[in-house]
Structure 1
């Protein structure tokens, strides 16, 4: 464990943000080469890595996934492993998740599974929602397409080492959406000569947050940014934009909410003689846990004597592991990182080192139960 903790501290000191994780990937590759995996795939979906450990007999291919990327947020917690990269930090615990998968790699190098294959995936760009899609669309992914996929995420606010589970939706799907409005600029002394998006923008700000109330299940629209023209006092604006985050627990509800936003925007834009365009970023699928895998995770936790909790509702945040649940039966579970642990994405957050062993042992039990 000391070796894994030191690795985690090194990764914490040198965080890299989405799609820039070249040095992080290099460190992981250096760790795995002595473990002699049967197959190594580099630059998967960009900077991703996959390590395959083959069993003695044919069988199912089991995937365990972690994330390579840090956040563009300053690490504020003073420690001997504080981030050395200004304005960047591993403030979601991906450094710890990587250390856990490295620990599982050590176990697999010493004890190959009885059957099948175990695939350890170090995925880029989870924070932007781009990484899972990039990996899944990489042509080489077909070579290692899994039969079952597992992942975990540490969860501040829950007792240390507690396993947090759900059948069905574990985390919401979400997308960033921007509505761009185009009219016509004019002199501010003659606004009637132009087409100013101000009124349409104001109406959208008032009306769009009401749309989720029409959904059958949980849905939410959060306005995050608005822009009208530029700071030119002699000009009446001819362009405007409104950005928001949409989220829902059900993929159909999320898709329906997107369509309702488009429909409302088109109606309002037409009434104001404006052109309208839509763009999307940071798209996360709903993370859906396969109910048949629930007992495997539950049994693993019980064998290790860990506390279990069934969360009554899905988490509102998103995780791009949701895309794997569209490829094969998948299961994402939580690992409590302490009731007093700072929340994820806070400047003072730091992954608890004692969770590394717990995560390794949970994954190892799942290997033994499945392969």
Structure 2
């Protein structure tokens, strides 16, 4: 049975919700219309409590079960991306330069669908805390919600989340115990030399050659400092310098994204990055400043909760569609902060062929929403049975 029968009956309503959200994307913490839409649906559904204004526009809603038990947290992110949509869909974004290119509109819909079912049936003990989080893409809204005390305030004992996964088999769930997604750090390096005419480089201190040497050298950090079985990646994604073909510029900069799974590896990458930049600055007689943004930590599932979530996924989609030991991903997620605060698990839900995440032609597959909603609902009923 791919979806719960009652949730299957909500499919068209869920599609309407999702497509409304898709047409009205908002960014980062600035999601007032999204939050208002969610709150209105929650009131119609009949949840017991709605707490708004957490992490500026986030919401935590509570549904009380039938008997005494702990509180289980279910999370959906709700922010969009600064991308101009090219889907051509009738429900395409109405806000130029903003779109739901990562499926957070679908994540909200799945959680609302589960909320509707749970508020109606209440075949569970304890409480459910529905976490609607802004600023996953930019701003670490998950961290802010944790810092504002939602785990203690709502006595959340464990927490779960789902992310849609285009181009993985439809209806299949993927997760793994331990690290599922990488930490992400970003380094901005600013190099200053002495500019001048390209015909007289001996009178200059060239930041361009220093930058080239630094970029090449940082690519040696992983193969020559990190154990080969400890996955990590450093990708230089920007280099900016110069204004004309015959001028040696005064300044240059480059930017890199730095990803790993283990805290000690993460610390080593930062240490070696600084050492290489500082050493090359000395060698090339330039000055260099590093702005190192210590970003989202690795998303680490607790083993028992990952195994439990996979068992629930198998119940919803079938044994062959639940993959409890799937490959981990180098992408990152601020759900990691919630998993640092409480045990829990994060899963990917395959949505079939389509444009990839963060692509201007991406659109969430509405047929996946009842499956995700069923997973959330069964997770609660299995975790906190009457």
TM-score (structure 2 length as normaliser)? 0.88
1:166-211 Cα distance to aligned partner (Å, 9 max, x none) = 1111112112221122344557676555543223211111111121
Residue equivalent to 1:70: 80
Structure-2 residue corresponding to 1:276:
288
Task: Map residues 125-144 of structure 1 onto 2, 5 A cutoff.
Answer: 125-128=135-138, 130-139=140-149, 142-144=152-154
Report the 3-state secondary structure (helix = DSSP H, G, I; strand = E; otherwise coil) of the residue aligned with 1:354: helix
Aligned with 1:327 (options 322, 330, 341): 341
Distance 1:254 1:129 in 2: 20
Structure 2 counterparts to residues 218-233 of structure 1, below 5 A:
218-228=231-241, 230-231=242-243
- Are residues 141 and 296 of structure 1, via their aligned partners in 2, closer, same or farther at CA, if it must alter by over 3 Å? closer
Q: For 2:163, which of 153, 164, 188 is the aligned residue?
A: 153
Distance 1:192 1:112 in 2: 78
Corresponding position: 1:352 with 2:365: yes
Residues 248-289 of structure 1, C-alpha deviations (whole Å, 9 max, x = no match) = 132332222122111111111123333332224582211111
Q: Is it true that 1:365 corresponds to 2:378 in the alignment?
A: yes
| Superposition CA RMSD, Å | 2.2
* Aligned 1:232-251 pairs, distance under 5 A: 236-251=248-263
Deviation digits for residues 210-230 of structure 1, max 9, x if unmatched? 2111212111111111122x5
* Count of residues in correspondence between the two structures: 369
Q: Residues 183-262 of structure 1 correspond to what in structure 2 (within 5 A)? A: 183-185=193-195, 195-213=205-223, 214-216=225-227, 217-228=230-241, 230-231=242-243, 236-262=248-274
Consecutive unaligned residues of structure 2, counting only runs of 5 or more, are 1-9
Q: 1:95 Cα shift?
A: 0.6
For residue 366 of structure 2, give the secondary structure of its aligned residue in structure 1.
coil
Would you say 1:164 and 2:174 are equivalent positions?
yes
- Partners of 2:150 and 2:344 lie apart in 1 by 20
Larger mean CA deviation between 6-15 and 206-215 belongs to 206-215
What's the CA shift string for 1:268-314, capped at 9, x where partnerless?
Answer: 11233333322245822111111111332122123224312245421
Give the TM-score taking structure 1 as reference length. Answer: 0.92
Tell me the residue number matched to 2:37. Answer: 27
Task: Decide whether the 8 Å contact of 1:249 with 1:314 is kept in 2.
Answer: no
Unaligned runs of 5+ in 1: none
Cα shift at 1:151: 0.4
